[in-house]
Amino acid sequence: MIEVSLHKKLMSANGEMKLNTGFKLEKGEFVTLYGKSGAGKTSVLRMLAGLLLPDEGRIAMNGTLWLDTNNGINLPPQKRNIGFVFQDYALFPNMTVKENLLFALGKKDKSVVDELIELVELGNLENRKPQTLSGGQQQRVALARALVQRPQLLMLDEPLSALDTEMRISLQDYILRLHREYELTTILVSHDVSEILKMSDRMLILEEGNIVKDGKPDKILLSKDVSGKFQFSGEVIGIQKQDFIFIISILIGKDLVKVVADEDEVKKLQIGDKVLVASKAFNPIIRKLP
Amino acid sequence: MNILKGEIKNLSVKDSLSLVYVDVEGITLSAIVIDTPQTAAYLTPGSKIQLIFKETEVIIGKGKENHISLQNKLPGTIGFIEKGDLLSRLVVDTEAGKITSIITTNAVNQLGLETGSEVTAMIKTNEIMLSE
């Protein structure tokens, strides 16, 4: 279990902001930090990692103090037993995939490197240099590298936002596999509703440095205020006018659906909007796929 | 999307389904939902509620006497018609409020519908969603 309490004055785009957060994470929990940019998400991760010092704070990992500003305790990042993955992969360009992992390992037992290479399926790429790999492959290397020290806490700061949808979905599966295999406690920063619903057990919503919501993602994100039982969240990717009706194309997960809408509904919509799509459970038909 | 505001009069519950009767301006409309008072707290007599249904699910009958299985019948007059090549959009003024319907232009022509025609707007019970 990790117990966190962090307080710091931060400078944000809107001026000074006071970050005041406190939460407890159980071992094995997968938690998403959600909030607008500037809400303090990355600052929380950086303070957990030991890259940013709070004005006042305490972090205890399974009873071990990583930070206690009242008693002058502040372990450096390398002693905190964490893995960190950012949006940019930050791999060493002059080293192969395997060398990148071995470098992060230091003098420890090398078997974990082979195990990780197998888990993220990089076996046939292990002797390649990062710049010859796709974005998704490089992010898999970064993920494996974050885990060679066998951390207890894995932190992912929008790791998939630079990837296309298909690559994202595949990376999400790798992350979940590693999270379970190594019994990690994982904190993800993400803005993608379908990603949050798929990956996390719990979400914390940050607003101007304060946690304003803490709960199960489906309870928080999925609207229960319409009785329709056929509900999905998606993103508007097309709006096409036909006579006086509109055909709205919506991406739900990796499936494209189309919904007919009236002018009044469309007035409020624009491409890129996140929307709830709801129908009654009486309408859809089900066919078994071959 | 048609939205009507009403108040739950009563409901019949059987296993996980509820048939909900809602009073809208003195007219009773019914909706069937996969929820019960145990799963949705708003399912209780007296609750203020919205009924939501798509324009494309509104059936138009000519006149006021329609011998038909549909339970939700709203008599009124056509206040507005917009005819497209394939589809037409009608707005019916009823006691429950304005109801928009999208039906085929063929149907509009066959029934000879025009502004001022007396019609009944009808919605199947299983096409109405409820919202708090």
pLDDT of residue B132: 84
The reply to whether B45 and B59 lie within a common domain is no
The reply to whether B80 and B102 lie within a common domain is yes
The reply to whether B40 and B7 lie within a common domain is yes
Q: Does A227 have pLDDT greater than 80?
A: no
CA–CA distance, B50 with B132 (Å, rounded to integer):
6
Torsions phi, psi for A31 (to 5 deg): -120, 135
The reply to whether B32 and B75 lie within a common domain is no
Residues of chain B contacting A, Cβ within 8 Å: 1, 31-35, 40, 52, 54-56, 82, 84-87, 89, 100, 102, 126-132
- Give the mean model confidence (pLDDT) for residues A147-166: 87
For residue range A28-40, list pLDDT tens digits in order.
999 999 988 888 9
pLDDT of residue A222: 66
For residue range B17-70, list pLDDT tens digits in order.
999 999 999 999 999 998 889 888 899 999 999 999 999 999 999 987 768 888
The reply to whether B60 and B114 lie within a common domain is yes
Residue A59 — very low, low, confident or very high, per pLDDT cuts 50/70/90? very high
The reply to whether B47 and B59 lie within a common domain is no
pLDDT of residue A287: 86
Fold of the CATH domain A230-279 = OB fold (Dihydrolipoamide Acetyltransferase, E2P) (2.40.50)
- Structurally, chain B folds into a number of domains equal to 2
Domain limits of chain A?
2-221, 230-279
The reply to whether B79 and B105 lie within a common domain is yes
- A227 and B1 within 8 Å at the Cβ level: the answer is no
Q: Which of B86, B89, B129 is closest, CB to CB, to A228? A: B129
A284: contact with B, CB 8 A cutoff: no
- Give the mean model confidence (pLDDT) for residues A150-165: 88
pLDDT of residue A110: 83
The reply to whether B14 and B28 lie within a common domain is yes
- Give the mean model confidence (pLDDT) for residues A238-258: 87
Task: Taking the CA atoms of B4, B7, B10 and B13 in sequence, report the sign of the dihedral they define.
Answer: positive
> Which of A16, A228, A239 shows the shortest CA–CA distance to B53?
A228
Torsion of CA B93, B98, B104, B110, to 10 degrees: -10
The reply to whether B42 and B61 lie within a common domain is no
For residue range A273-288, list pLDDT tens digits in order.
888 898 888 888 888 8
The reply to whether B71 and B37 lie within a common domain is no
A228 neighbourhood in chain B, CB within 8 Å? 129
CATH architecture, domain defined by A2-221? 3-Layer(aba) Sandwich (3.40)
Range of the domain at B19: 2-52+127-131
- Give the mean model confidence (pLDDT) for residues A197-211: 92
- B87 and A261 within 8 Å at the Cβ level: the answer is no
ipTM of the complex: 0.76
- Whichever domain contains B11, its CATH number is 2.40.50.100
- A227 and B126 within 8 Å at the Cβ level: the answer is no
